[in-house]
Amino acid sequence: MTLYQFAKALILEAGKNIRETMDETLHIETKSNPNDLVTNVDKQTEQFLVDRIHQSYPDHEVIGEEGHGHQLSHSQGTTWVIDPIDGTLNFVHQRENFSISIGIFQDDTPYAGFVYDVMNDTLYHAKAGEGAYVGDQSLPQIEDTDLKKSIIGINPNWLTKPKLVDLFHPIVNQSRSARAYGSAALEIVHVVTGRLAAYMTPRLQPWDYAGGLIILNEVGGKGTDFLGEALTIYEPHTVVLANPQLHEDLINHYFKPHQEIIEELHAHHRR
């Protein structure tokens, strides 16, 4: 079994395990604030993934949202970047619209990405350089769009914040319309399939985008921070992912003119 086949079988099994717990009582705790939730299922799923990875590959590193590998700042060999449940608020309140996200890197180079829409049993996946798939079906390259003919993914909460509203209001205003789904990894795969022309957010953790970005690159999409710099897997970033034309337009005409606000966000992320 190749590493790719192993990872694909593993994420499907983790999702099946989550589906099988859907009738059980959830244990919910808060993390950084009252709206930042974590459940027993987030923690159990991360532990399941880490244990299985280390049983088969003892020397692989794992960075996971619920506590694994947060001390890493670079790595040689193979590194897994995992989010056991992306969209925890949806998981708790809606019992759907959440995903498992996995990105695998070898010597810091993308190897493969997986985003599993658990309740729809839909797996988006890609091995770097070999194209993107949903299930067994190959996905085409994404098409360029103008902002005025684009549906963009952005969380409306950001438009309630001073400064961020200056950044995002013109973009939302000049787009065809905006949508929010509540799982960053699913929003990224919506860019992969063309359901969204772009997804942007002022703060995202590596486990939220690592898997999705590898898949997006395989269909010709672009993902960087708001100033066009590459996304790393060791710290949070501002994140804009889109088709190439819209990505360039957003960076040059909407983000770069607000460089000061963005540099303030980046300084905040590094604290």
By the 8 A CB rule, do 154 and 201 touch? Answer: yes
Q: How many residues bind Ca ion (CB under 5 A)?
A: 3
The answer to whether the beta carbons of residues 144 and 194 sit under 8 Å apart is: no
Beta bridge partners of 114: 102, 125
Which positions from 79 through 138 interact with Ca ion, judged by CB under 5 A?
83, 85
- 190 neighbors 199 (Cβ within 8 angstroms): yes
- The residue of the chain with the least Cβ separation from ligand 2AM equals 184
107 assigned ligand-binding residue: no
- Residue appearing with tokens 């949806």: 90
Nearer to Ca ion, 46 or 249 (CB): 46
Q: Which is nearer to ligand 2AM, 65 or 117 (CB)?
A: 65
Query: Which residues are registered as beta bridge partners of 180?
Result: none
Regarding 208 and contact with ligand 2AM (CB under 6 A), the answer is: yes
121: left (phi over 0), alpha (psi -120 to 50) or beta: left
Distance in angstroms (rounded) separating the CA atoms of residues 50 and 58: 10
Closer to Ca ion by Cβ: residue 41 or 219: 41
Q: Residue 203, interface with ligand 2AM (CB under 6 A)?
A: yes
Is residue 41 a contact residue for ligand 2AM (CB under 6 A)? no
* Span 227-266, contacts to ligand 2AM by CB under 6 A: 236
Q: Decide which of ligand 2AM, Ca ion, none touches 39; Cβ closer than 5 to 8 Å per partner kind.
A: none
User: Among residue numbers 80 through 119, which ones bind ligand 2AM (CB under 6 A)?
Assistant: 83, 86-88
Spell out a b/e string for 157-188, using b for 16 or more CB atoms within 10 Å of the CB, else e: ebeeeeebeebbeebbeebeebbebbbbbbbb
Binding residues for ligand 2AM, rule: CB under 6 A, are: 65, 83, 86-88, 155, 182-184, 203-205, 208, 236
Annotated binding site: which residue ranges?
65, 83, 85-86, 208
